[in-house]
Amino acid sequence: MLILALWLACSGPGCVRDPDTRARREAAEAWDRGMDARRAGHLDDAEAAFHKAADLDPDSPVLPTWRAQVLAEQGRVPEALAVLDEALSRFPADTTLRFNRAGLRARQGELDDAAADLHQLLSSGAIQPEDAGVDPDLALLRERPDLALLAPIPSADITAFGPDGSVLLGDRATVQVQVDAPAGVPLLLQDMGEPSGLLRRERVVQTDLDARPGRVRIRLDLSLLAVGEGPVSDGPWLLTAGATSGLTDRMRFDILAVGDRSGSVGEARAEDLVLPSVVLAGHSPPWAGRVGEVLVIMAPPGATAELEGPAGPVRALETWELRDDTQPRWSAWLYPDPGTGRAHVRRGRQDLLDQVVAPASPP
- pLDDT at position 272 over 50: yes
Calculate the alpha carbon distances from 116 to 1, 144, 220, 267 in Å. Answer: 33, 14, 40, 61
d(CA 175, CA 166): 13
Domain co-membership, 6 together with 130: yes
Under 8 Å between Cβ of 28 and 55:
no
Is there a single domain that holds both residue 198 and residue 137?
no
Assign 131 to helix, strand or coil: helix
- For residues 251 and 159, the answer to whether their CB atoms sit within 8 Å is no
Query: Within a domain: residue 326?
Result: yes
363 is a domain residue: no
Is residue 213 domain-shared with residue 318, that is, in the same domain?
Answer: no
Within this chain, do residues 128 and 32 fall inside the same structural domain, yes or no?
A: yes
Among candidate residues 103, 127, 150, the one where a domain is terminated? 150
- The reply to whether 362 falls in a domain is no
One domain for residues 6 and 145: yes
Closest by alpha carbon to 284, among 330, 236, 239, 336?
A: 330
| 253 dihedral zone (left: phi>0; alpha: psi -120 to 50; beta) | beta
Does residue 75 lie in a domain region? yes
Number of domains in the chain: 3
For residue 315, what pLDDT band results from cuts at 50, 70 and 90? very high
Would you say residue 13 has pLDDT above 60?
Answer: no
Return the pLDDT at 4: 31
Least confident of 17-31, 135-149, 154-168, 177-191: 17-31
pLDDT at position 237 = 92
Verify that 142 and 171 share a domain, yes or no. no
Q: What is the DSSP string of 49-103?
A: HHHHHHHH-TT-SHHHHHHHHHHHHTT-HHHHHHHHHHHHHH-TT-HHHHHHHHH
- Of 97, 128, 150, the last residue of a domain is 150
- Percentage of the chain beyond pLDDT 90 is 66
For residue 274, is pLDDT > 80? yes
More confident residue, 182 or 93: 93
Alpha carbon distance 214, 99 (integer Å): 13
**264 and 289 belong to one structural domain:** no
CB 192 within 8 A of CB 247: yes
Asked, for residue 30, whether it belongs to a domain, the answer is: yes
26 and 134, same domain (yes or no): yes
Helix (H) or strand (E) holding 112: helix 111-123
Tell me, what's the pLDDT at 174? 94
Q: Which of 136-145, 313-322, 351-360 is the most confident on average?
A: 313-322
Residue 102 lies in a domain: yes
Average pLDDT over residues 24-29: 89
Residue 73 has pLDDT above 90, yes or no: yes
Report the CATH number at residue 256.
2.60.40.10
Residue range of the domain that includes 23: 2-10+17-150
In the predicted structure, residue 104 carries a pLDDT above the cut 70? yes
Give the integer Cα–Cα distance in Å for 21 and 2.
Answer: 12
CA–CA gap between residue 163 and residue 224 (Å, rounded): 11
**Over the chain, what is the mean pLDDT?**
88
Hey, which residues does 206 pair with through a beta bridge?
220, 322
Q: Residue 154 burial (CB < 10 Å; 0-12/13-18/19+)?
A: buried
Q: Is 317 exposed, middle or buried (0-12, 13-18, 19+ CB in 10 A)?
A: middle
- CATH, residue 70: 1.25.40.10
Let me know if residue 331 belongs to a domain.
Answer: yes
Res 16: pLDDT: 39
> Does the residue 126 lie in any domain?
yes
On whether both 95 and 217 belong to a single domain, the answer is no
Average pLDDT over residues 243-250: 88
How many DSSP H helices and E strands does the chain contain?
9, 18
Q: Look at residue 7 and tell me whether its pLDDT is greater than 90.
A: no
Confidence of residue 2 (pLDDT cuts 50, 70, 90): very low
329 or 263, higher pLDDT: 329
On whether both 303 and 229 belong to a single domain, the answer is no
Q: Are residues 61 and 196 in the same domain?
A: no
DSSP letter for 135, please: -
Confidence of residue 306 (pLDDT cuts 50, 70, 90): very high
Domain boundary among 271, 297, 331: 271
**Residues 124-137, mean pLDDT to the nearest whole number:** 83
pLDDT band at 185 (very low <50, low <70, confident <90, very high): confident
pLDDT at 262: 73
Q: Are 60 and 141 found together in one domain?
A: yes
Task: Specify the pLDDT at position 331.
Answer: 97
Q: Which residues pair with 253 in a beta bridge?
A: 232
Write down the pTM of the prediction.
0.68
Per-residue pLDDT, 12 = 40
CA distances from 343 to 56, 106, 290, 297, 336 (A): 54, 52, 12, 7, 13
